[in-house]
Structures are given as C-alpha cells and as structure tokens.
Structure 1
Amino acid sequence: MLPAAARMRASSEFDATVRGGVRAARPTLVVHARAVGDDDRRVGFVVSKKVGNAVTRNRVKRQLRHLARRQLTTTPAGTRVVVRALPAAASSQVADDLAAAWSVALGKLGRLR
C-alpha cells in the first residue's frame, strides 16, 4: 500500500501539478509531474466516473496505488505526480503504461529543471 505521507489530498496540490507541470500520455492514463521545493514525494490519483462504476473505479485506484509505490522509489525528492486514469484503464492492464508514462514525465521534468 502507498504510505499516507506520500499521497496528495489537497485540490490545490492537484491543480498546481496538472496546470504547472509536464505531462505524458498513454492510451490508458495520463501522468502529470511537477517539481516543488520540498524534500518529499507525493502522488495523487484522478479516476472519474467515465472509467466505470464505483467498483471499477476503486479497482483501478487500488491497482494504480500499488504500481505507484514502486515508481516512487526512483522518483527524485521534491516531485509531485498526478495520475489521471482514462476510460480504457478499466478494461486493460495499466502497469506498462504507468511505468512508461512516469519515466517520460520525469524525463521531461528533468530537462526543465
């Protein structure tokens, strides 16, 4: 499970990351990343009703949280990441897409720093 300290909860953090950062898209999800001044790493998830009913959305969120925990170990300190699931995430495995989009977003972010 993803530690509570590594989760984004405030809508202001989500907005700042989505609007002020870089993004990388895949068929099942979009990853937004932004560099901030502090030393912690945080990740947030956006899974809308377009993905499916409550059971489907919660399954997708659980899967993304599990996969994001692995990705956070290689993420530099001071990084905020928002993972937005697209409707295709309900019917396919997102592991490969998350890993690829995460690395592309961090690569873009590294060029901007």
Structure 2
Amino acid sequence: MKKLLMTMLFGTALVLAACGGDGDNGDSEETSSGEINAEKIVSNKCSSCHGGNLEGGMGPALENIGAELSKDQILTTIQEGKGNMPPNIIEGEEAEAVAKWLADKK
C-alpha cells in the first residue's frame, strides 16, 4: 500500500512539475514591444513533454504540427487537453499566441 501511495504521489508531482509549473524562470514571456513571446511560453511550459526542439518525448512531436492541424484545432487541444495533456496549461491571449506560432510550424 505504501508503495502504491508513493508511486501516485511521485507521479502527480512529476506531472505538475513538467506541465503545471508556472514556468517563471525570470525570462519575460513578452517581447520588448509588449507582444506575447509564444516561443518562450512553449519553452517554459511545453518543452518538458514535447522536447526542447519540439521533437517529441513524453508528448508527441510538434515540430511540423501546423502541417497537420489548424490554429483553431491547436487552440482547442491547448484548452481541452488531449491524452495525458491536461487542459488549460496555457490560457487566454498566451494560448492564442502559442496556437498561432505552432500553426506556422510546417
């Protein structure tokens, strides 16, 4: 029983650290002109599962996702989650910017 509990706690902590962390490493998620820096958001909140170069890992590769999904489909996935990806890791204008940035990956 203790083993199961420890496994569940460790697994939950790992998912929260990888996907649900606040991603605040001191780098701004806005450009100097005040625009949202989608690449920085992806680096902070998505790369732990999708890879540093979007090559995939625990989550699927996203390096050419724009060739498969539209911006709206990507946004829906961000908002609703899919598979092991929890919903709303990124929200609002940041989610819109990330969906647009990923849709350009072809």
TM-score class, shorter: under 0.3
Structure whose residues are more often strand by fraction: 1
Structure whose residues are more often helix by fraction: 2
Q: Who wins on radius of gyration, i.e. which is larger?
A: 2
State the TM-score, normalized to the length of structure 2: 0.25
State the TM-score, normalized to the length of structure 1: 0.24
